[in-house]
Amino acid sequence: MAVTREDNVYMVKSRCWWAHIRGAKPILRCLQEYMVGPRRASWRIVSSIEQKEETRGNVEHVSTIKEYRSKIENELASIFDDILDLA
């Protein structure tokens, strides 16, 4: 059985909800920890690689990296929209 994005969002929301109920941490911090943090780390790594490849002049690699960075940015934007809908 394939896990969908909705399944992942549900699991994160339920983890964060129970953490909030138990008083372990605020819900927004939990959402950041499980959903935003890993993607921000990926974005930083990909951006660093993109800069290195640009200085080397690898145009083909740079275009591929930009596409991947764009996908990460779109995921982050979608997550932020979902978080704002919760608030």
Question: Residue 39's closest CA among 4, 86, 74, 3?
Answer: 74
d(CA 43, CA 87): 25
Per-residue model confidence as pLDDT tens digits over 49-60? 999 999 999 999
d(CA 66, CA 71): 9
Per-residue model confidence as pLDDT tens digits over 4-53? 667 666 666 666 665 655 555 566 677 777 788 888 899 999 999 999 99
Question: Residue 65's closest CA among 51, 76, 75?
Answer: 51
């943090």: which residue's tokens? 37
| pLDDT at site 51 | 94
Whether pTM exceeds 0.85: no
Question: Residue 15's closest CA among 60, 72, 7?
Answer: 7
